[in-house]
A and B are shown apart, each in its own frame.
Chain A
Amino acid sequence: MAISIKPQKDKKYELPGSFNILFYYSIIILFFALSAYLLVNRWNENMQEQIQSRESVLQRLEQQSEFQQNKLKVHDYRSKVNNYSDILSARNSVEGFFLFLENSIHPLAHWQEVRLDAEERRIDLEGNALDFDALEQQHSILKNFSMEKEFTGWVDAEDVEEIAEDRLSTDGRAVSLYNKPTSMGREEVINLRDAEEILILQKISEEDYEPQGLRVDIDLIEGEWYEVLAKKDVSPVDDIELRNVGETDEELRVMFELILTIDPIIFK
């Protein structure tokens, strides 16, 4: 039996079909990765240029003399409003002092010398009374003296408890400011808890009282506000001290000296 020996043909190693797909995909992925990188890089450069140009425009605008002048003017107005408002609200008005003096003296007593020290919140009253009973009554009148004061201010709508016609009631407080409910200027808080009546002057919401453009540098307190006129009884005398009591030589009247510590509200 003859055996033929034929060299066997090399079997060609063939890749599976899925590997071919992977090969093409790998090329596509590489291509996309490269393109995406170049695209993002270009985009990034454009963005940086845009930022640079915005920065230079902003700087140019800021350095413009007109812009700087306007900024100074607004700053100047703002500090003027602030100063005026603060100094006006801290001013001691004499009207309340005279009202107090005219209405707190007993008919059978009269003052001879009055010294007011607004800084020390003190009134020294020297005078004489018809007798000791009149002096006692005078002391009592001063101790219990109250005067009606009117305040205008702004009440936050959130603090309003009830509204009836043109009046409101609140357990909160009113913020008295020179002009509008802004955070600028000195804030003087008035307790309206015991107010006799609180009359609504106007209701105002942020957009109502904000003239176009006036928002600049003025920090409006956001929310709805009521401008109110409140009437409240206040006691201007915090403390009272009686000194130098004695009978005068003439007509047997009783002389006295009263030292009153007063509430600054008397000057408002």
Chain B
Amino acid sequence: MRPIITIICLTMAFVIMGLFLWPEYQDLREAMIEAEIKDTDWQNMLNYSRSMDKMIEILNEEYEEEVKKMDDGIPDDHYIPSLFSEIRNASRASGIRVENIGSFSTRNHSEKDGITEIEISFAVRGDYLNFKNFLLRLENSARIKSIRGIRIDRIAGEDFDTLESNLTLITHSY
């Protein structure tokens, strides 16, 4: 009887190990790896959440000025009248006369989604140094402006340094 029981026991043991235990063990190993990945995901998510809180806190407290500078540089709306007003103020402060102000066109930025490019053209009249100061003043103001085109003419018959100029500027908004 014993030999038969021995054979049955060994056969059953091998069947259990081969058909049940081994696949179960493989599943366990996979589950352990998956659990480890989930743990890492969980840790990363927690770190990410904490980092975001910290980053927002830092940006709000320590980089407040920089954030404001970025908001002023590219405002969230066109604000065309205030743009013209800024040009007028810069011209008064620089001692030159602005003419034909008021025309503008807008279009979507070619590379950046959600950004509008505003092109404004106008004429100015004044002497060279004041004209230069006017442009530098505009350039150094909060809103980012870029020169697209300038045409400068020396006015015949007037003081040698008196200029008439047509300007095309580009500025942006969201």
Q: Is the interface of B mostly helix, strand, loop or mixed?
A: helix
Question: For residue B41, which residues in chain A have a CB less than 8 angstroms away from its CB?
Answer: 54, 58
A113-B151, A215-B51 given; A37·B24 CB < 8 A: yes
A98-B132, A119-B148 given; A33·B17 CB < 8 A: yes
Interchain Cβ contacts within 8 Å, total number: 189
Q: Which residue of B lies closest to A81 (CB)?
A: B70
Question: For residue B2, which residues in chain A have a CB less than 8 angstroms away from its CB?
Answer: 15, 19-20, 23
- B80 CB-CB contact with A under 8 Å: no
Closest CB in chain B relative to A56 CB, distance in Å: 11
A27-B9, A216-B52 given; A47·B135 CB < 8 A: no
- A57 CB-CB contact with B under 8 Å: yes
User: How many chain A residues have a CB neighbour from B under 8 Å?
Assistant: 66
User: How many chain B residues have a CB neighbour from A under 8 Å?
Assistant: 65
- A50 CB-CB contact with B under 8 Å: yes
- B52 near A74 (CB under 8 angstroms)? yes
- A87 CB-CB contact with B under 8 Å: yes
Within 8 A of A (CB), among B8-51: 9-10, 12-14, 16-17, 20-21, 24-25, 27-28, 31-32, 34-35, 38-39, 41-42, 45-46, 48-51
- B5 near A41 (CB under 8 angstroms)? no
- A213 CB-CB contact with B under 8 Å: yes
- B28 near A40 (CB under 8 angstroms)? yes
Question: Which 3 A-B residue pairings sit nearest by Cβ, starting from the closest?
Answer: A213-B54, A26-B9, A47-B31
With A33-B17, A54-B38 already in contact, 12 other A-B pairs whose C-beta atoms are closer than 8 Å: A37-B16, A58-B45, A73-B56, A77-B55, A80-B74, A87-B74, A87-B115, A87-B172, A95-B136, A116-B147, A117-B149, A214-B58
